[in-house]
């Protein structure tokens, strides 16, 4: 069965709408009476196809046809109706809707019941307004909520099962955080960034005054003048 449509009938107080995403065990409605046509109970079945109209039923179909087009819903009772106590009509139970009494094959409108009629404790309408929950994760594809009897269904919900990895989620635009501006400390510029060997200032050779004065090359009459000049020069160098 490639697709499954979970149908809940005879409801009241529907709390979801078409397009809603529902989760398994989520409350979707309250138990009802088919707008007064039946005693309070929830009809629950699982179809393998989308009906031409969602009030479509299996009246007049064979037992094998029902097996081929509906999934066995047993085992999900307590999920759908947490207050579940007993069945009305059961899975594949034979029923004739003309007389509303059990008959053998050949009745005018035979039906092999394709689902389960779920009841809480008590009889009659004792379980009216008991909570009804979704038996699967899925998307709501049909909701009937009105005053008419809806061909006996009353208020009704159909949920198309969607596996967890295929659940259609509402598109929420992702707000991307503004990247923080990272301050990078500037590396101080080195005095010699490319490693050029600096030229060291050449040392000026100091002149020994006494040696110059003693030199025979310099005339005696110039010694006094030269002594003054060299003195000033050495002072400048200091």
**Nearest partner of 44 among 134, 109, 126, judged by Cα:** 134
> Does residue 189 surpass a pLDDT of 60?
no
Pairing of strands 42-47, 115-119: antiparallel
Q: What is the pTM of this model?
A: 0.68
**Which of the four pLDDT bands, split at 50, 70 and 90, describes residue 88?**
very high
- Residue 51's pLDDT is 86
Percent of the chain residues topping a pLDDT of 70: 69
Q: What is the mean pLDDT of residues 1-25?
A: 95
Burial of residue 69, with CB atoms counted within 10 A of its CB: 0-12 exposed, 13-18 middle, 19 or more buried: middle
Does 202 score more than 90 pLDDT?
no
CA dist 66 and 115 (Å) reads: 10
Which are the contacts of 227, defined by CB distance < 8 A and separation ≥ 6? 209, 213
Question: Which secondary-structure segment (H or E) carries 235?
Answer: helix 223-237
* Distance between start and end Cα atoms, the chain: 107
Q: What is the mean pLDDT of residues 114-122?
A: 96
């Amino acid at each position: 069965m490639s697709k499954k449509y979970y149908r809940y009938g005879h409801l009241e107080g529907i709390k979801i709408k078409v397009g809603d995403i529902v989760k398994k065990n989520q409350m979707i409605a309250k138990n009802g009476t088919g707008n007064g046509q039946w005693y309070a109970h929830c009809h629950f079945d699982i179809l393998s196809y989308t009906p031409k109209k969602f009030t479509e039923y299996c009246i007049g179909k064979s037992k094998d046809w029902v097996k081929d087009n509906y999934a066995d819903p047993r085992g999900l009772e307590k999920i759908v109706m947490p207050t579940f106590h007993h069945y009305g009509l059961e899975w594949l139970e034979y029923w004739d809707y003309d007389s509303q009494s059990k008959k053998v094959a050949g009745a005018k409108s035979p039906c092999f019941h394709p689902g389960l009629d779920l009841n809480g404790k008590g009889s009659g309408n004792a379980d009216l307004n008991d909570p009804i929950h979704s038996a699967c994760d899925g998307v709501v594809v049909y909701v009937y909520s009105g005053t008419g009897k809806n061909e006996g269904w009353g208020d009704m919900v159909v949920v198309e099962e969607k596996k967890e990895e295929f659940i259609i989620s509402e598109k929420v635009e992702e707000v991307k955080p503004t990247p923080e501006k990272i301050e990078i400390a500037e590396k101080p510029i080195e005095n010699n960034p490319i490693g050029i060997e600096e030229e060291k200032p050449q040392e000026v050779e100091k002149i020994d005054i006494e040696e110059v004065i003693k030199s025979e090359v310099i005339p005696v009459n110039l010694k006094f003048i030269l002594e003054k000049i060299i003195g000033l020069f050495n002072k400048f160098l200091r």
